[in-house]
Amino acid sequence: MKWFTRIAVFFAIVTFVLWFLGVLLSDRWVWSQWLAWIPTPVVLFFFVIAGAFCVCTKKRAFALTIGGGAVVVSIWCCCVEHHLLSNRGNAGAIKIVAWTMSHSKKAVAKQSADIVVELNGDITLLTHGWFVRGEPAIREWLGQSGHKVINSQFTLLTKFTPLKVQTLIASDGIYISEFILDTTAILGDVLVVWAIDLPSAVSSSKMEIANRVLRLLQTVDTTEPDIVIGDFNMTRNSFAIQTMFPELHDVAIDSGVGVLASFPVEYPLYHIDHVLIGSQLRAANYKLINPHIGRHRIQVAEINP
């Protein structure tokens, strides 16, 4: 039993150290991005197992150490990774809804459309929403004043008038589209929205992807984005995201509420879908909703000028 206790404690400590390095170093290198993707619940699991062995073998010093580590990781998980104790519920001038629809959309198109209509976003971005965007409920909801704009694999449903739409990048699994919307009545200026979808292969270097994005953006004529929305396939503390968009801020950090992980949908471990905003905007509220359909949770953000 003592050997099992030592092994359990060893695994708990090693897992904690690797996890901490991942938090600290993020995805700067390929080897560190593997550490950055260690789920915090896995660290807690090893701490609980090790703590149970320590209690059973009456290793009080080990039990206190492991228990202290478990408390620290739990606080981090509840208050930093997720905002489980936050009670923010402020409404914003503009409501943004974003859903990465990587699922069998035809079979659940009607249910998906009903969810989109119920959320009633001022700006709704659907990634891969091919069947959903044609549903009668969507057409009825948009009415005569709403707009449906399609570019690449993105569908933008909005109450604002689109002024410009263009593909910025569509290369090697990297997709970025630009939508410029007339929001002067609310924000006093137009709103430049970039929709983004990046490669999902876990073996790909996130920094290499970020550098490719920067190189490709240099080849096109662009307007600096006010908002970037979509499936980054990078975690919230991603150094690669900061490299691509150093002037933008993840709204989940300041205004997130509840469980802040978007994938997989039922038991989310990773926050890989994001809404980034510039300094001219302020986030009032951000949450992730479980649609019980597909693989990604839905992002809902409220923003103000």
- Give the number of C-alpha atoms closer than 13 A to the C-alpha of residue 276, restricted to the C-beta side: 24
In the block, tokens 């923010």 appear at: 88
Q: Is the pLDDT reported for residue 292 higher than 80?
A: yes
Compute the radius of gyration of the chain from its Cα atoms: 21
Tell me the whole-structure pTM to 2 decimals. Answer: 0.93
Domain with CATH 3.60.10.10 in the chain: 94-304
Q: Is the pLDDT reported for residue 104 higher than 80?
A: no
Q: Which of 47-51, 92-96, 124-128 has the least mean pLDDT?
A: 47-51
For 261-280, what is the mean pLDDT?
A: 96
123-127 vs 174-182, strand pairing mode: unpaired
CATH superfamily placement of domain 94-304: Endonuclease/exonuclease/phosphatase (3.60.10.10)
Cis amide leading into 225 (omega within 30):
no
Structure tokens given for 170 = 């569509």
Amino acid 193 reads V
123-127 vs 282-289, strand pairing mode: unpaired
Q: Which of 155-164, 216-225, 238-247 has the least mean pLDDT?
A: 216-225
Q: Is the pLDDT reported for residue 95 higher than 90?
A: yes
Tens of pLDDT, residue by residue over 250-264, are 999 989 999 999 999
Tens of pLDDT, residue by residue over 109-141, are 999 999 999 999 999 999 998 889 999 999 999
Q: Is the pLDDT reported for residue 280 higher than 90?
A: yes
